Amino acid sequence: MKKRIGLIGGVSSQSTIEYYTRIMEKYSTRYNDMEYPEIVIYSLSHGRFKKYEDNRQLKEYVEYIYQGIKALECSKVDFIAFAANSPHSVLDQIRKFTTIPIISALDSAFTEAKRLKLSKVLLLGIKYTMQSSYFQNRFSDGGINVIVPTLEDQDEIHSIIYDELMKGIIKDSSKQKLYVLIEKYPVDGVVLGCMKLPIILKNGDSQIKFVDTLDLHTTDIINAALV
């Protein structure tokens, strides 16, 4: 019996669509049938969610995420995953409010960084993620140093994510800007800490080792559903 997947989506719609698509594709590559696992998606309002992030209204932030958790609990899902990185900043608090297991993208990324034997990585994402410490806290458990870009570079990355990728716009010029930016930092890997970044930055396009949280997390999700 396949397990029912619960996804907290909406942050953004692009990453939610990508999560659903990749989970279905990963199932299809393993089985030549149409017996896909059931998925229930609770889509948060991105505007409201972003307001809480930008204003660091963590109480309201947690309560809003938990609103989605409660809806998924009513749908009798077997486990939950966030189709975004930033909600993982309050993962420990959220876990206190539910007995349903939460599959963490932080764990997915950390496991891959350890497999690649990375020691120092550059974290890319939205400003909220780059200016928070939840990736650093998780990776420090394995002795992996996580650094973030300068404030000026953070502005550039944030703009590409919000003004382009979240709107489905992909520009070669922005891709090149990101590669030039990455090369400024003395690291042995890059964590794609926004689920939109793998749309434009892909392993194999360069010598850079990307820790693709979107791909890794969806693999862990489908694995959990098929246990």
Q: Which of 126, 137, 114, 143 is nearest to 209 (CA)?
A: 114
CB 121 within 8 A of CB 139: yes
Report the Cα 202 to chain-centroid distance in Å: 15
Phi and psi based region of residue 149 (left: phi greater than 0; alpha: psi -120 to 50; beta: remaining)? beta
Residue type, 48: R
Q: What is the pLDDT of residue 165?
A: 87
Q: What is the pLDDT of residues 164-174, one digit of tens each?
A: 988 888 899 99
Task: State the average pLDDT over residues 200-207.
Answer: 80
- Please give the CATH number for the structural domain made up of 5-104+216-225: 3.40.50.1860
Instruction: Please report which confidence band the pLDDT of residue 107 belongs to, taking 50, 70 and 90 as the band edges.
Output: very high
Please give the C-alpha separations between residue 3 and each of 41, 78, 80, 95, 165, in angstroms, as whole numbers: 14, 6, 11, 19, 31
CB 137 within 8 A of CB 160: no
Rg (CA), the chain: 17
Is the CB of residue 22 less than 8 Å from the CB of residue 218? yes
Q: Residue 199's pLDDT band (boundaries 50, 70, 90)?
A: confident
| pTM for this predicted structure | 0.90
- The span from the CA of 112 to the CA of 219, in Å, is 12
CA-CA distance, 111 to 114, in Å (whole number)? 5
Confidence check: pLDDT of 1 > 80: no
Q: Alpha-carbon distance 182 to 29, whole Å?
A: 33
Topology annotation, domain 106-212: Rossmann fold (3.40.50)
What are the percentages of helix, strand and coil residues in the chain, rounded to 5? 50, 15, 35
pLDDT of residue 39: 95
Helix (H, G, I), strand (E, B) or coil at 192: strand
pLDDT tens digits, one per residue of 64-75: 999 999 999 999
All CATH 3.40.50.1860 domain ranges of the chain, comma separated, are 5-104+216-225, 106-212
Mean pLDDT for 38-53 is 91
